[in-house]
Chains A and B, each alone.
Chain A
Amino acid sequence: MTRLVSFSFALVVVLLSVPVFAQTASQVEFFEKNIRPLFANNCQVCHNPQMKTGGLDVSTAEGFMHGGASGPVVDKTNPAESRLLKVTSYDERIKMPPTGKLSREALDALRSWVESGAPWPGSWQAAEKRPEPAKREFNEKERKFWAFQPMKEPDLPGVGNEAWIQSPIDRFILSRLEQEGIDPAPPADKATLLRRASYDLTGMPPSEQEITSFLEDDSEDAFDKVVDSLLASKRYGEKWGRHWLDVARYADSTGNDEDHRYPYAWRYRDYVIQAFNDDMPYDQFIREQIAGDLLPADQPGQVNRRGTIATGFLALGPKAIAQQDKKKMLYDVYDEQLDVVSKAFLGLTITCARCHDHKFDPILTKDYYSLIGMFASTRSFKDPTTHVAKLLFTPLVPEEEYAAYTAHQDKIDDNKIAITNVVDEQLEGYSNSLSPKLADYMLAARKAGDGASVDDVAKANGLDAKILGRWVEYLKPGSVPQPHLTEWREASADDLEEIAQSYQQRYRERLDEWHARLAKWRASVARSLKAKNMPPPMKPKFVPGEDRFFHEVSLVKGGPFALDEEDREKVFSREARDKLAELKAQEKKLKETMPPEPDMACAVQEGEAVDQKVFVRGDHGSPGVDAPKVFPVILEGHDQQPVATGSGRLELADWLTRRDHPLTARVMANRIWQGHFGQGIVRTPSNFGKMGERPTHPELLDYLALRFIDSGWSIKQMHRTIMLSSTYRMSSKVSDQQNAADPQNRLLSHFQRRRLAVEEMRDGLLAIDGSIDLTMGGTLQTGFGTDRENSNKRLSMNPDEINRRLIYIPLRRANLAPLLNLFDFGDATTPLGKRPVTNVAPQALFLMNSEFVSARARNLASELLNDDAGDESRRMKRAYLATLNRVPAPDEIDAGLGYVSRLKQRFHDTTEDIDAWMSLCRVLMASNDFIYVD
């Protein structure tokens, strides 16, 4: 892709009046001598015709006159205000040249040249050109693009084979097949259908009991009952909630640079699961995720708890919180929020328009910034300006209640700080008491080093023998070079006294500084404990480089003036000790009476309303025209009333959930369809734009979307509508005719076989051996912030070692569990409409070798052996029912039993019954029959 060539708006060239004055010879000379070399040496590395950094080329008169992306760099009417002078003055955010400010002479020359009209020799022939953004007019093709047209109630197509029709859906499918002369596949057998429905709706296999009862149920509505009971299962929300979490790029940490935990992310995850289980109307689901915090609570005076949690959709994206260009950090976050909103709900890639108009779709840069303004007016950080930005956590209780909690917490913290203060004061007192004797110690150590006994010298000089002993050791030359002791070691006897004094003097200054720093740290700990969203700052480490002598003497363990841990209390005063005891008793009491921590959420809050500008070429340092808060022009036209107050999120939610919105219902209906058939009617579920696919059955898509809205946006109703069709119940077997006519099965002549997703595979295996833990909700992650760079704690938990459903295992974005990477989970960072399916050897290694699969196989084998000892073929049937959810054919039973006995025979030394059956179970679990759903 070449850069920026396809700016498709016309550049309207305005010819301005040509400067009337001719350049004098002296002006030419001035330019050639002072200005041209200045540009050449300092600017043209980047601002040349090839690179044109910032759109500016200063190598020619034309380039210079044209200016950069934000217009001409010289202001003819008001030269002093010229951008060229501003950026070179280094007074603004953008400072040129970046390698260092120009010399005063150069700046003076530049200023006088600009003020004299910036005469460029020969330039009077060059017209001054200024681009003026024209109103972008959409062409016919763009305006008529299918996805932007209103939904239309389709006529139900007629079909030849009326007997096949069980649902209106079937008419759309069959009529197309009949047109192409393709026969639909016969119905799937019952066991296959049950397995399919069960994994589709719950992500789990049917139990033996469910299989038997369905196979025995001959009633007309046997399958209807199955669908209803699967939809009523709590497992449903865990399966379909996960589909949504893919779209919402859900994870439990910020990823990017620091990977800080989102300690309350799980509440959003649980909200999603609950919303699916409750069949929350989809329009409400959208409204809550975008603006739930702004919607009224169920009861007056309460916080809208559910709605606040729902905005985790916006709040839980990846964030580069250590990015030092804080404005860039914020706009990257807004971009990310708009990206997830536009892909999830609209199926549009709006964020492609950040730097230039969208290259493929009629989305303007201005549309982008109009929407960005809504997120820029929304808070995602408690404090974005700190070195590592602070994340925002929102209490889910009324303010007073939260205030009471924090007040109590503050008391504990104050108490803790009081304890620290007493201890530090005592320690500092001890240090201060020693520092005036430093010179004495050094001089005494010299004497003791010269052969006198340490004890004697100490006694003679009124010094502590233990400390003096350490001084002697410390001052002895060792193997590590100590340039800071050179002066002392090389001092002549005459100078010793004076040099010792100078060491003492420096030491005392450093000690004071260090104590001051500790005091500052204590203050910031106090502040941070009050703020409560980050771990308190670490105790400052004295930087040894600042003063190696001071460091080694007083801070290194065993240093001459360092106090050993066990000696601490001894030097404390009696008052201090009493005070400490009192404070500790107080602390205990406060902790006992502490009210429980109120629930919190990772959510967004309404921020200060921002009047967003277009950023030229996406550069937040180059604001351009206003971008009032309106919706994309291609959908809503030019005449819109901009959002007047607030962030505009409520208006955005209203707009998205309008019944006549051409995208919202279609996009979701398509996602649901895809969840059943592997492919959507539009096969690019998050891109309904030009580079996406066209619908294979456009009328069917509209039919589904309209029924979706009619049903009150009921997702469960959509499942019923789809699953009770003949289309859904077809076999996955492909005939030669079908394969020849439609190898990709775009027309759905048969059910598309699909591989289990990683959750289905893993949770399914745990269900098969009965070890799955079906506890719902809550969090397995603890703590705030991040971890040491090389700590194992930075890894996501290993799903091989936890028996909860996979959806409940926290996702550390920077280090997802290898199992997830192995089986195409996605990156939990970008909205994922459809997971890729790869087929590689390391996946096979997991099934062949992992302890996880072996444990499942062993458990199942032992259950089989325990239950039905004696009847081997019944045992084999149960193995098949448990893993493949069907009754094995006689030849399969024979083959299986043959394998078990041959294995025992062949490896009789090492293979017991349990080993052989375990091996057979592992084979079934690793088989294509298990991993693919027919």
Chain B
Amino acid sequence: MEPKRPKLPSNPRVTSRRAMLRDAACGFGYLGLAGALSDAGLLRAAADGMGASPLATREPHFTPKAKQVIFLFMHGGPSSVDTFDPKERLFRDAGKPLPIKRPLAFDDQPPGPLMKPFWTFRQGGESGIPVSDLFPHMRSVVDDLTVIRSMVGEGVDHGAALLQTFTGSSTFTRPSMGSWAVYGLGTENQDLPGYITIKPALSHGGAKNWSSAFLPGAFQGTAIGHSGLKIEEFKDEPIEYLVHKGFSQEQQRYELDMLQNINRRHAELRKHDPELEARIQAFELAFRMQVKAPEAFEVERESDATKKLYGYDQEVTKDFAWQCMLARRLAERGVRYIQCTHSYKWDQHSDLFRKHTQNAAEVDKPIAGLIKDLKSRGMLDDTLVIWAGEFGRTPVSQGGDGRDHNPYGYTIWMAGGGLKPGFVHGATDEIGYHAVEDRMHIHDFHATVLHLLGFDHEKLTYHYSGRDFRLTDVAGVVAKKIIA
């Protein structure tokens, strides 16, 4: 569809771009987004109801295909040529030297020879998209996937690659994609954070990968545990400070009433300061949040059939099944942007066969379960699911039976949210090193995700430090071919 012009700011205080910049309470303003987000209003929860909260729902530039995002991140970099990108020549020429000059690699040793993929590829579903035996469950839902075989990034080390995958920049601190999404759209459930990242990685940029950077802190991702913790260690208090220890809820309400009395008296003596009322409202919201939010995290409430579907009943899949089920529960409750992380397991510089097998065993079923579950609940239509590592791996061997990092041509897939299902986009060269057809740079990927969320990526901007910033920097082309 053709992008419509974004609505002009409707707030009467906002008269011009310059005036907005001048008026911005804290040196930032926003430009190019529909009216609800006004400069100062952005920061103020609700003197006039939730309309002015930074997390209130906002209209994007045009009707979105996807309302929410679930990003399944395979930290470490799964091998594309062993999973979704079959390369005849690797089977044929295994053991021969790399026929091209190796681009900048992570390894400082000379490259090994071409290495044969460890798994057999078989066509799946009606679409017949080949998926290797590493992912039999994902193969069973391949008709719902849009496989992109031509991803290109710039970082050959994990840190740079993660930062670019999530923020667009491999070098600088920039707002993450989820922060942009919530900045643009707000969120639908005010009792939950708008952007939640489950068990995120502490390494390779850590919180920079879900940070709001110079966007207001309200758009920062909320971390649920981290990669080093077991679910049991944080599931009783998934969000920091969510649980009160000591008072009963009734006592706490009593205490809150006293607080609000004091605050009201204070505010009455001080006119013309909407911040004071906003903070009174923030406490009410917080109270509601602590009452209502925990229910969203009670994954145990899922039916046995659902648990089985995700593999929650088996030890090997339990952790990621929990993450995927929680992601679905959060999406169902209107959380805008959710990320699950299978942290730092996929980095097989050696022993790729054994480790990839283990890794796949942990995620394959939960992921397929998520797709099936979303579909059966009718949620896949407006939920965009993304499956990606920070890069793929080289067609040549490293460490005998592993592969090095390859950001020059790798595969990710997306599903739902207005994409063509059962569709393959782009191609790598005949050994799977470089993307050559319909190359999709990470900027293009970001532009496409924002497009699906209803944004013209060039117009979703934020003024900071003297210029307008956007997720896609000065690049990005929407991959129209993959949009249904």
Contacts and interface: CB of A to CB of B under 8 A. Distances in A.
Interface string B267-304: 10111110110111011011101100000000000000
B429 A100 contact: yes
Nearest to B245: A851
B316 interface: no
A792 B193 CA distance: 24
A403 to B, nearest CB: 32
B351 to A, nearest CB: 5
B263 A683 contact: no
B315 interface: no
A844 B283 contact: yes
A854 B246 contact: yes
Given A544-B351, A790-B343, A923-B255, A834 B207 contact: no
B227 A790 contact: yes
Contacts of A734: 270-273
Interface stretch (A70-78, A498-506, A817-825): A817-825
Contact of A686 (B159, B239, B256, B465): B465
A924 interface: yes
Given A736-B271, A839-B45, A924 B262 contact: yes
A256 interface: yes
B332 interface: no
Contacts of A922: 255
Contact of B104 (A324, A815, A923): A324
19 contacts: A322-B160, A361-B466, A690-B466, A691-B467, A693-B22, A734-B272, A795-B226, A815-B207, A827-B213, A837-B25, A839-B43, A840-B217, A842-B239, A844-B283, A844-B287, A848-B290, A849-B242, A892-B265, A911-B251
Contacts of B399: 543, 545-546
B479 interface: no
Contacts of A2: 458, 474
Nearest to A825: B217
Interface string A676-710: 00000001111101111100000000000000000
Contacts of B222: 842
A683 B467 contact: no
A646 B254 CA distance: 69
Interface in B463-484: 463, 465-468, 470, 474-475
A256 B163 contact: yes
A318 B465 contact: no
A543 B351 contact: yes
Contacts of B55: 840
B204 A931 contact: no
Interface stretch (B79-87, B95-103, B381-389, B414-422): B95-103
B252 interface: yes
Scoring A822, A843, A849 by chain B CB atoms within 10 A of each residue's CB, the highest score goes to A849
Given A814-B208, A919-B255, A1 B466 contact: no
Contacts of B474: 1-4
Nearest to B344: A789
A867 interface: no
Contact of B173 (A684, A792, A830): A830
Contact of A349 (B157, B216, B272, B466): B466
Contact of A387 (B108, B208, B267): B108
Given A257-B159, A789-B344, A790-B228, A848 B211 contact: no
Interface residues of B, number: 118
B133 to A, nearest CB: 14
A517 to B, nearest CB: 12
Given A1-B470, A99-B436, A840-B54, A929 B266 contact: yes
A816 B218 CA distance: 16
A848 B252 contact: yes
Contacts of A683: 22, 27
A322 B205 contact: no
Contacts of A565: none
A931 B157 CA distance: 44
Contacts of A851: 245
Interface in A907-934: 907, 910-911, 915, 919-920, 922-924, 926-929, 931-932, 934
B65 interface: no
B211 A827 contact: yes
B214 interface: yes
A240 B465 CA distance: 23
Given A99-B434, A922-B255, A848 B286 contact: yes
Contact of B241 (A324, A838, A850): A850
Nearest to B171: A332
A830 B214 contact: yes
The 10 A-B residue pairs with the shortest CB-CB distance, nearest first, are: A257-B159, A545-B401, A545-B400, A814-B206, A100-B100, A844-B286, A790-B228, A546-B400, A789-B203, A691-B466
A919 B429 CA distance: 67
B290 A849 contact: yes
A323 interface: yes
Given A101-B101, A924-B262, 4 more contacts: A546-B400, A753-B273, A821-B220, A915-B246
Given A100-B434, A546-B400, A837-B43, A325 B104 contact: yes
A605 interface: no
Interface in B226-266: 226-228, 239-248, 250-252, 254-256, 258-259, 261-263, 265-266
Interface in A73-124: 90, 95, 98-101
A845 B288 CA distance: 10
A733 B216 CA distance: 27
Nearest to B247: A919
B103 A98 contact: yes
Interface residues of A, number: 113
A910 B247 CA distance: 9
A256 B207 CA distance: 10
B158 interface: yes
Interface of A: 1-4, 45, 90, 95, 98-101, 255-259, 318, 320, 322-325, 332, 343, 349, 352, 359-361, 387, 543-547, 683-687, 689-693, 732-734, 736, 739, 743-744, 753, 755, 789-792, 794-795, 812-816, 818, 821-824, 827, 829-830, 833-846, 848-851, 854, 892, 895, 899, 903, 906-907, 910-911, 915, 919-920, 922-924, 926-929, 931-932, 934
Scoring B269, B270, B436 by chain A CB atoms within 10 A of each residue's CB, the highest score goes to B270
Nearest to B161: A257
B286 A100 contact: no
Contact of B465 (A687, A814, A850): A687
A836 B213 CA distance: 11
Scoring B160, B290, B458 by chain A CB atoms within 10 A of each residue's CB, the highest score goes to B160
A791 B263 CA distance: 42
Contacts of B206: 259, 794, 812, 814-815
A687 B269 CA distance: 36
A37 to B, nearest CB: 16
Contacts of B461: 1
B319 interface: no
A413 B461 CA distance: 55
A854 B344 CA distance: 37
A98 B428 CA distance: 13
A546 B401 CA distance: 7
B350 interface: yes
B103 A816 contact: no
Given A543-B351, A822-B217, A839 B275 contact: yes
Nearest to A42: B436
A744 B22 CA distance: 11
B425 interface: no
B373 interface: no
B26 A834 contact: yes
Contacts of B258: 899, 919-920, 923
Contacts of B252: 848
B475 A928 contact: no
Scoring B25, B208, B267, B461 by chain A CB atoms within 10 A of each residue's CB, the highest score goes to B208
Contacts of A360: 466-467
Contact of A324 (B157, B247, B285): B157
